[in-house]
């Protein structure tokens, strides 16, 4: 179901319009906006970038600790944490 979103001039107006709508309609509007943004060129690129960032393991904050990685060069793989 496609919902027609009222025209708004400023960002604050969007919030006011959304607050006036029932919760179920607000959810549908936000979901539709996300779908349309994902389908746009810029939105698709940003979402792909976020997916890549999410798939990367989190960096360790502890100094001196080296995390195990499969993309290390062979010498570091053999020497372990000594290099």
Q: How confident is the model at residue 13 (pLDDT cuts 50, 70, 90)?
A: confident
pTM for the model stands at 0.39
DSSP state of 80: G
pLDDT of res. 54: 67
Break the chain into its structural domains and give their ranges: 1-58
d(CA 27, CA 51): 23
Give 24-70 pLDDT, tens digit per residue: 888 888 888 778 777 777 767 776 777 777 666 666 566 655 555 55
Cα separation values, 54 from 39, 47, 57, 66, 83, Å: 20, 10, 8, 20, 28
d(CA 74, CA 80): 10
pLDDT of res. 52: 74
Q: What six digits make up the tokens of 8?
A: 């708004």
């Amino acid at each position: 179901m496609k919902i027609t979103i009222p025209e708004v001039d400023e960002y604050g107006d969007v919030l006011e319009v959304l607050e006036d709508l029932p919760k179920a309609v607000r959810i549908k509007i936000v979901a539709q906006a996300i779908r349309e943004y994902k389908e746009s060129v810029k939105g698709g690129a940003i979402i792909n970038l976020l997916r890549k960032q999410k798939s990367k393991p989190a960096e360790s904050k502890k100094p001196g600790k080296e995390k195990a990685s499969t993309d290390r060069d062979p010498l570091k793989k053999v020497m372990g944490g000594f290099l």
